[in-house]
Amino acid sequence: MNRFALAALAAFTLSAPAFPNIALAGDYRVGGIEVRRPWTRPAQAGMNGVGYLTVANVGAKPVKLLGVETPAASSATIHQSSMAGGVSSMREVTGGLTIAPGAKIEFAPGGYHLMLMGLKNAQALGGKVPLILVFDGGRKMKIDLSVEAGAPKADPMAGIHMDH
Ligand SMILES: [Cu+2]
């Protein structure tokens, strides 16, 4: 560990007691909104990509996630997958998602997810994909999705987006 890392660690340790809900590395917090573990899958340029993350309202007022933007794809929308009679389908979520104080929304395989239509570049393992979350009141939160392999065994929907 070099001197800089030690200094950073010391600063972190000193500031930690003031922030009992301190976010882990790779998480984001702006005002009363916390974003945890944003990730996406490896993909080739031209394919449709996905985005997964947890958005938590750690503030005192309801917040509404209106949509998402990214320079990495032609368009980006919120989708919801569901199972009915053994058939899975997905639809675009319009009108936004309201998150009550203390509540969270999980974007995860098989449920809510972000759909990145027409990726401009390939997404390689270990890379980052920039994303902007748009909330009510004009608030925007810039985050990076980290490109991860995910957990195929726990993800029966893994192949769904290939022909979406
Ligand atoms: Cu989708």
Amino acid of residue 98: T
Nearest to 55 by CA among 104, 114, 93: 104
Strands 104-107 and 73-84: unpaired
Amino acid of residue 102: G
Span from the CA of 79 to the centroid of ligand 1 (angstroms)? 5
In order of their start, the domains of the chain are 26-163 (2.60.40.1890)
pTM recorded for the entire structure: 0.77
> Based on the number of CB atoms within 10 Å of its own CB, is 9 exposed (0-12), middle (13-18) or buried (19 or more)?
exposed
Distances (CA, A) of 129 to 19, 39, 40, 145, 146: 28, 9, 8, 5, 6
The pLDDT value recorded for residue 134 is 97
The pLDDT value recorded for residue 157 is 52
Span from the CA of 77 to the centroid of ligand 1 (angstroms)? 8
φ, ψ for residue 86, nearest 5 deg: 80, 0
Span from the CA of 11 to the centroid of ligand 1 (angstroms)? 41
Nearest to 68 by CA among 90, 93, 46: 93
Nearest to 29 by CA among 69, 61, 56: 56
Span from the CA of 59 to the centroid of ligand 1 (angstroms)? 29
Name residues of the chain where pLDDT drops below 50.
1, 8-21, 153-156, 158-159, 162-164
Span from the CA of 48 to the centroid of ligand 1 (angstroms)? 9
The pLDDT value recorded for residue 11 is 45
In angstroms, rounded to a whole number, what is the distance separating the alpha carbons of residues 131 and 70? Answer: 5
The pLDDT value recorded for residue 23 is 53
The pLDDT value recorded for residue 20 is 42
Span from the CA of 60 to the centroid of ligand 1 (angstroms)? 31
